[in-house]
Structure 1
């Protein structure tokens, strides 16, 4: 049995706002028809940004990096090394296959990288350097030949740290360009931006809607929603740590759900008290406070089994486990984007530095998909070869029967012909 020690103040919005959808449709259509001119018009309108070229030159990139403290550069390099290391471990787990499944029947698959990827790196309230690490570095490890990256200007200027992160991650082209116009330019192409095969990266509601509308014309990584965190805690958990970690994710945005599921009423109530104490001193308290007020929950359950059940029901983007038996959760939990085990681990490590990818499923999508990984930038394609006339005859006869059961006479005749040729003749309809 479960009961709420704190409930949400309002339900999360799960449908795309009509105004957002309509506005995005208009921008995409304008970029499709007007190319660079439309992109420039929207950049001026939304970001007051209209440089001679949105694409940065090598000189501009070098200048941006030179303006940064050496420590910032060193930290970017270290984090990207962590991301690259894990991506390479993932790549090593992926193998091409080829097997002779019957005499002379060869089946196989190969994993081929996507040719070109567009990485959208958010700016605005938070310039997400980490998204450059996660997307560009991982795509390059996968073997993507052309990765272009875009990010919005910051207060009418080049965002130096984001540019450095994109460059050091291996971006082949860097554009200071934000919003729907950037996603549209990469997806449909303009006079100065060659289209890509896939778009990856988080963004606001407009960017997310642009990816949704363009999906099919280009591939996308995920349909992204607000950041989510769910913490499972028993009576061994430290309420202060729980409170800090809930707030760390709540500051992503005012619509970010932050949920605690606990078997201990004391831990639940002490966590609420700690959040109330910590919030006023948090520099992002307006955002985090709104998220906690409107989308924060503390759920008391009778057993750890019920806590696991609630967690799988929510299928949260991030799940943290503060219990006495951490590995029990690893074995039994099913629905999550990423799992963080123990007090010495936190979601923010995954967000920023540890090396696993932070582009993860939200809004229950963890029930059917995982997050961004090196395999997302690969296409697994199959091939077939038959070297045996006898096997071709057997398959041809089988195809003839199977296809005619579905009224596909043309398919059946493809099988008839090969079966007959294997016997040294031609089918009656071909004579």
Structure 2
């Protein structure tokens, strides 16, 4: 029968037209201004973009206590329970990363240490939605990794402190919390100001300006990943429920108007039923985000029918989606068949929303097919895997010296070779032509 596209991407009207705002230029101006003027520029851009200019952007302990006091008890209890899940998984990840030392030959010791980054800046978005779950994923994970200092920045919402987000940041372990949003927050953390410590690494999602800021600052600081719109891919066979598939596609489409929501299935009936249910749910339900989800689904939703399960896996790997849900008779087959994905969600009892909000795995994941070469944010992103070497045997150092001399001269690196020659001379009594007698101390070898 061949592959059938029951629904294809059409894109948003005018998507290819020139943008009204030159995002890279705006971001570059903000970064350079903050680099030159520090806090003065931070305040200017906060007033311009967020209408926010408090006496201090940094929240005091009293401010944090007030935020926590203003959170409903159930919200605080839920934050704590979710963070227990995130912490448990992050600690398991950290436990899987081992330091080691090995003696590869007598007297030659090689080792590896996983050293936490000193200073991390976490950006917690607050525009369309206050994504307090991002506090768990970025701040808490960094603290489990052993990061000494984590700064958290989140914007005000309608000129007010987002109490729940602040509570989540504090409970996650943030050492300093700033009520500061947008690219001005990212730039201030990356370059440092009079009141904001310069960090070594930036983590957390954000809008197009935040994402561009991280792109321009990458190299000067590390970043978690280059993020694009949220993505969901569902791989399903005839055993899947069309209502569940439709509900889960919509759950991600509500993130924004440009979210790819894709179904690949071996069952045409499931494809048609899913499209009918999606359209019905988006037009007849009381979904508060229906307008955004409808725009996203109409522009970027896809439904594809393939002939075989093998073709389903193959096409799924080509999409390399951020989130991949698997609704098949044997969903754990995906662990062997899928190689390109940000995170897998196996079976109908789980869903992407669990990963986004509560289950414990990290929700900062690769998008735009970057899952072909990288995974998402995890404890290991906050660690520097560093090596060390020690030679304790005279014989081993002399043997390595001879080997180094030959290997370096094969590459025309004479000075490298001479470092090896010195050890061969000292520990193996090799006669080295370039070493003059006057360089030998008291008539002995160097």
TM-score bucket (shorter structure): over 0.9
**Structure 1, gaps ≥5 residues long:** none
Counterpart pick for 1:170 among 170, 173, 179: 173
The residue number in structure 1 matching 2:293 is 288
Deviation at 1:406, TM superposition (A): 1.3
Distance 1:42 1:125 in 2: 19
**Structure 2, gaps ≥5 residues long:** 437-446
Distance change >3 Å, CA 11–CA 286, structure 1 → 2:
closer
Segment drifting more, 35-44 vs 282-291: 282-291
Q: TM-score, normalised by structure 1?
A: 0.98
Q: Does structure 2 conserve the Cα–Cα contact (< 8 Å) formed by 1:231 and 1:322?
A: yes
Distance 2:292 2:192 in 1: 36
1:228-259 C-alpha deviation (Å, 9 max, x unpaired): 00000100100000001000001111111000
Q: Secondary structure of the residue that 1:194 maps to in structure 2?
A: coil
Find the structure with the greater CA-based Rg.
2
Segment drifting more, 328-337 vs 144-153: 328-337
Distance 1:194 1:329 in 2: 44
Q: Secondary structure of the residue that 1:202 maps to in structure 2?
A: coil
1:124-171 C-alpha deviation (Å, 9 max, x unpaired): 111101000011111010000100100010000111110000000000
The residue number in structure 2 matching 1:48 is 51
Q: Does structure 2 conserve the Cα–Cα contact (< 8 Å) formed by 1:417 and 1:426?
A: no
Distance 2:50 2:416 in 1: 56
Q: TM-score, normalised by structure 2?
A: 0.95
Distance 1:273 1:330 in 2: 30
Deviation at 1:117, TM superposition (A): 0.4
Counterpart pick for 2:148 among 135, 145, 149: 145
Runs of 4 or more consecutive aligned structure 1 residues displaced over 4 Å after TM superposition: 11-14
The residue number in structure 2 matching 1:215 is 218
1:164-190 C-alpha deviation (Å, 9 max, x unpaired): 000000000000000000000000000
Say if 2:187 is the partner of 1:184: yes
The residue number in structure 2 matching 1:103 is 106
Distance 1:365 1:211 in 2: 16
Distance 1:80 1:401 in 2: 56
Q: Secondary structure of the residue that 2:255 maps to in structure 1?
A: coil
Distance 2:333 2:128 in 1: 38
Q: Secondary structure of the residue that 1:39 maps to in structure 2?
A: helix
Deviation at 1:423, TM superposition (A): 2.1
Distance 1:10 1:284 in 2: 19
Q: How many residues align?
A: 431
Say if 2:253 is the partner of 1:246: no
The residue number in structure 2 matching 1:386 is 391
1:91-129 C-alpha deviation (Å, 9 max, x unpaired): 111100100001100001001111110000000111101
Segment drifting more, 17-26 vs 412-421: 17-26
